Chains A and B, each alone.
Chain A
Amino acid sequence: MSKHIIDRRSNPKGKNLSNRQRFIERSKKFIKENLDETIRGRSVRDLKSGGRVRVPAKSIKEPQFQYDPKSGEKDYILPGNKEYNPGDKIRKPAGGQGGGGGSEGSDDAYGEDDFVFSINKDEFLDILFEDLELPNLLEKQKKSIEEFSVERSGYVNEGSPNNLNLEQSMIRSIGRRLALKKPKGRKLRELIEERDKILEFFSKLPPGKDARTPEYVRLQEIEEEIKRIRARYNAISFIDPIDLKFNNFSKVPKPKNAAVMFCILDVSVSMQEREKDLAKRFFILLHMFLNMKYDLVDIVFIRHHTVAKECTEEEFFNSKESGGTVVSSALELTSEIIKKRYDLTHWNIYISQASDGDNFTSDNQLVEDVMKNQLLPVAQYFTFLCIVPNAGQVHADVRYSAGIGMEKKYYEISQEFSNMQLGRVYESKDIYPVFRSFFLPKDKDNE
C-alpha cells in the first residue's frame, strides 16, 4: 500500500478567520457589556494588551435537547473503588444536588460557565470605539508636530562605501562590459588550451619535422589571437568607478498628531476607593480612545484637594489626602502646565476631570473665570465626570435637579461652550455609556 507525505505547513493558516470574525461580531454586544471587567486592573497607560474577554455563555449558546443531570434515577459507573461495599450509602454533597460523581457527559458541565477568549488590541479597540468620533468641529483643528523620518530616495553616484548598492552597481558594470565588447575569459582559456595541446603534439614529434605542418600555421594564428584578446581584456576593467551607485537617503517631514490628556482628580476626603476606581476606568477609556485617534498621546496627572499637584500615575490613584476641595487650584495648574510645556500650535489639549462635585462655594466664581478664560478657549475638549452617591441620580437631568456642588456651575458654562461635556456615573457599568455619549457623533445623537 502506497502512501503520500505532504507538507502542508506553508498552507494558509487563517482558515477560521472568517468564522472568528463572525463569532466576534456576535459577541460584540456582550464584550461591551462586560467591558468593565476587561479593563479592571489595568494601568491608564497600558495600551498593549487586547486582553481576554468574557462573554456570558448564554448569549452564544448553541441549545440542544439535553437531559437535566439532576433529574431521574440513574446509575454511575465509577473507577477507583477503595472502600465501598454493596449497600453502602454515601451522603450527597450539600448544595450539589446530585451531580456529585460528575459522571454525566462532561460536555454539559461547560455550559454554565462564561465563555472566555482572547482578542487582540485592534479588535478590542474596534469594538469599544465603534462609531465614536472626535467631534467633527475639533477634528478640523487637529494640530500636529513636525517630525522627520529618514527615507530611501533613489540612488546617487557618490556616497560612503557602506551605502554602496551592489545590485545597481553590478547592473551598470555588466552593461558597460557588454557595450565595450570585453572579451569573455572563457574564450581566452579555450585558446590557451588549444595552444597547449598543439605544443604537446610538437613535443612528441622528432626534432626538425615541425615546420610547415597545418598545426604550425594554427599555432601562429592562436598566438596572435591570444595577444589581441589579452590586450583588450586587460584594457576594460571588471568594475569601474563610473559603475558605482550608492543608496540615497533624505529626511522627510512627518506630521504627527499629538494630544495631551490631563487627568484631574479630586483626592479630598470625600473621594473614597469607589470614586477613584470609577475615575480610573474613565481615564483608561479616554486614553485608549485618544491613542487610536492620535499618533502621540501624553498624559498629565493632576490631583488636588485644597492645593493641586502634578504626580505620577501611582501616586495619582493610591495616595491618600485629607482636607477640603478647591477645584480652581487644579484648573490653574493645568493652565500653567499648558502654557509652559504644550505649545498650542502642536498639541491638542484634552482635559478630563473626575470629582464628586464638592467644592468650596466661594471658589466657584474663580472656577468659572479660569474655565471660561483660560481652559475652554484652548482645550479641544473638556469632560467632567461627576460621581454621584446613589444610582437614581445617574439619569437625573442636571437642569432640573439641584446639581451637585459645582456641577451646576459647570452646567451653565457648558451651555456656552460646545467643547465641554458633563456626565454622571454611579457604578462601573455607567462609565461606558457616559463615555459613548461624549463622543457619539452629534447627528447620531439626535436620532
Chain B
Amino acid sequence: MSKLLYTQQGDWSFELVSEIYDACEDIAVNELGCDTYMNQLEVVTFEQMLDAYASIGMPLSYNHWSNGKAWAHYENQYRKGRTSLAYELVINSNPCVNYLMEENTMTTQALVIAHAAFGHNHFFKNNYLFKTWTNAEAIIDYLVFAKNFVKKCEEKYGLDEVEMFLDALHSIRNYGINKYKRPVKLNSYSEAEKAGERAEYLRKHVNELWDTTVIKRKKEDKKRQDKEYVHLEKPEENIIYFLEKNAPNLTDWQRELCRIVRKIAQYFYPQGQTKVMNEGYACFVHYHTMNRLHEKGLICEASMLEFLRLHTNVLNQPTFDKQYYGGINPYALGFAIFQDIKRMCEEPTKEDKEWFPDVAGGNWKEIILDTVENYRDESFILQFLSPKVIRDFKLFQLGDRRIDPHYEVKAIHNDPGYRSIRKELARQYDYNYRIPDIQVRDFDHDDKRTLLLHMYRGKSGRELTNDSTVDVLNYIAYIWGYSVELDAFSQQEVFTEGVRQQEFVRYKQYRST
C-alpha cells in the first residue's frame, strides 16, 4: 500500500494538484492508453468560470451583446443556486487548457483532472471529427485575431453597424459550416496578413457569378425547368460562405466578419456531434482512474465516497415522467455504452456474442480507443447501443403524429424493439435531425436579384417556426442586400378522397428595410 496522496482535511494546494495529476497520468496513459495534448491546468474563480461560460467556453471571444446575455443568464442561475457550475471546462487547444475552480475540493480536482485533462483531451486529439475539422494549435491565436479585427471594425465603422452585421451572421451560424467538404486548416499566424491580401484580391477581380456571358452558356447546357434560376451548378450548404463570396454589396470588412463567424462555427461543429461520446468517454476515464487510485491506496474511503456522490449526480438520468426530465443525459448514455463495451469484453453473454461478435470477449482497451477515434454520436449509438443498455435505461419509443390525439408506443425494451429504438435514437443525434437542412439553391439574375434558399425536407416532415424563420430571412436579406426567398416544406394536410396528403408551401420573404 502506498501513501495517501491527500487527506480529507484541508484544501487543495498546487503541490497536491501536481501530484494528483501525475498519479492520474500514470493510470490514464499506461492503463487506458490516453494520448493527449500537453495539459495546462488553470485555477480560476467562479466569476472567471462564468466569463468563460458566456463566451461559449472559449478563453476569449470578440465582444458582442449576446455574450452579455449569456453571462447574465448563467449568473442569474448560479446566484439563485438553480444550477451549480460545471466543475470543469476544457478547451480544445494545444496545449489543452483545463479550468479548475478554486472552490473545488481536492477530490473534485482529481475528478476534473481525470475527466477533462485526460478524457476530453484524448478525445480532442484523437477523434476523427476533431482531427478533420479543428486545429487545436491555431484556435487561440485565431480568436485573438478575430477579437482584434472586430474591435478595429467597431472603431472604424461604428459599434451599431458592426453589431447589426454580427447579429445577422449569428442567426445563420449553423449554416456557416461545410459538412462534407474538408476544410483548409486554419493558419492563424498569417491570418491577419491574408485578410488584407484577400480584400485586395477581391477588389481587383470581377465576381464571376454576375458575369452574364458565362451564365448564358450554362443555360443552354442545362435544360432546367425553372429557367429563372440556373446560376448554381449545385446547391451551396454553407450559406455564410456563399454570401461572403457572392453578396454583391458587401464591403471588405463585412466579408471578413463572415469568414470569422463561419470559421468559429466550423470549429464547434464536431463538438455538437460528439457530445454523448465525448462526455461518455471522459466519464469512463474518470471512473476508471478514480477507482484505480482507490485500489492503489492513493485516496481514502471518504474521498472515494465523495467521488461516487459527484459521479452519480453527474450521471443521473431522470425517467421521462419526472418533472425535471430534460431529455437523455449524454453523460449517462455515453458512460453506459462505454462501460458496456468493457463489460462485453470481459464477461460476454450469449446475447452479446450474437449482437456484437466483434466486441464480445475482445480487448476492451483497444476497442474503446478505436471507437473514440472513428465514431461520432450517431454512428456510435447505431453501432454500440446494446440491448443491455436499452434494458437498463428502459428505453421506449413513442410516436407522435400531429393529427393523432394519442401518442403511440412503437417499441419497448424487448427483442422486437431493440433495433427500432437504437436506429431512432441514433438518428436523433444526426446533425440534420436537429438543424433544418437549408441551402442556397439559386438566385435570380434579373434586377431583383432574389436569393433562393431551399429547405430539404427531413424524414419527420417537421416545419419551421414561422416567426423566427421570417426574422432570419430578414437578416439574410440584410447581408445579401436584396430580397430573399425560402422554399420550405409545410405540412398542410389536405384530404383527397380520404387520403391525407401533404402540400408544399413556399414562404416568401422580401428584403426588409
Whether A associates with B in a native complex is yes
Do B319 and A117 touch across chains, with their CB atoms under 8 A apart? no
Which of A2, A5, A106, A117 is B43 in contact with, Cβ under 8 Å? A5
Residue of A nearest to B95 (CB): A4
Nearest-Cβ distance from residue B41 to partner chain A, whole angstroms:
5
For A400, list chain B residues within 8 Å (CB): none
Query: Digit string of B23-35 for contact with A (CB within 8 Å is 1, else 0)?
Result: 0010001000000
Do A71 and B400 touch across chains, with their CB atoms under 8 A apart? no
Do B29 and A1 touch across chains, with their CB atoms under 8 A apart? yes
For A105, list chain B residues within 8 Å (CB): 327, 434
Size of interface on A: residues with Cβ below 8 Å to B: 66
Do B55 and A66 touch across chains, with their CB atoms under 8 A apart? no
Do A80 and B319 touch across chains, with their CB atoms under 8 A apart? yes
For B72, list chain A residues within 8 Å (CB): 20, 23, 115, 117-118
| Secondary structure dominating the interface of B | mixed
Can you sample 30 A-B contacts with CB below 8 Å? A4-B40, A6-B42, A9-B44, A19-B63, A23-B67, A23-B71, A26-B65, A61-B468, A63-B171, A63-B469, A65-B174, A66-B436, A66-B464, A69-B462, A72-B458, A75-B399, A76-B400, A77-B421, A79-B318, A79-B394, A82-B321, A84-B409, A85-B412, A87-B408, A89-B407, A89-B408, A90-B408, A91-B405, A98-B400, A116-B76
Do A100 and B408 touch across chains, with their CB atoms under 8 A apart? no
For A71, list chain B residues within 8 Å (CB): 402, 461-463, 491
Among listed A10-18, A154-162, A169-177, A410-418, interface-contacting one: A10-18
Which of A3, A90, A115 is B38 in contact with, Cβ under 8 Å? A3
Do B471 and A63 touch across chains, with their CB atoms under 8 A apart? yes
**Interface magnitude class on chain B:** 35 or more
Do B55 and A79 touch across chains, with their CB atoms under 8 A apart? no
Give the CA-CA distance A88 to B48 in the complex, in Å. 50
Q: A16-B51, A88-B408 are in contact. Are A77 and B460 (CB under 8 A)?
A: no
Residue of A nearest to B426 (CB): A77
Give the CA-CA distance A11 to B99 in the complex, in Å. 13
A102 in the interface (beta carbon within 8 A)? yes
If A80-B322, A100-B400, A105-B327 are given as contacts, then 8 extra A-B residue pairs at C-beta distance below 8 Å, sorted by A number, are A3-B25, A8-B44, A23-B65, A25-B65, A64-B173, A68-B465, A77-B421, A80-B393
Q: A4-B39, A64-B171 are in contact. Are A92 and B394 (CB under 8 A)?
A: no
Seen from chain A, the residues whose Cβ lies within 8 Å of a Cβ on chain B are 1-9, 11, 13, 15-16, 18-26, 52, 60-82, 84-92, 98, 100-103, 105-106, 115-118
Residue of A nearest to B469 (CB): A65
Do B76 and A118 touch across chains, with their CB atoms under 8 A apart? yes
Q: Tell me the total A-B contact number using a CB cutoff of 8 A.
A: 268
Nearest-Cβ distance from residue B156 to partner chain A, whole angstroms:
17
Residue of B nearest to A84 (CB): B409
B413 in the interface (beta carbon within 8 A)? yes
Seen from chain B, the residues whose Cβ lies within 8 Å of a Cβ on chain A are 14, 17-18, 21, 25, 29, 36, 38-45, 47-48, 50-51, 54-55, 60, 63-69, 71-73, 75-76, 79, 95, 102, 117, 163, 167, 170-175, 317-322, 325-328, 393-402, 405-413, 416-417, 421, 424-425, 428, 434-436, 438, 455, 458, 460-469, 471-472, 475, 491
Give the CA-CA distance A68 to B460 in the complex, in Å. 12
Give the CA-CA distance A5 to B12 in the complex, in Å. 13
Do A72 and B463 touch across chains, with their CB atoms under 8 A apart? yes
Do A76 and B68 touch across chains, with their CB atoms under 8 A apart? no
For A21, list chain B residues within 8 Å (CB): 68
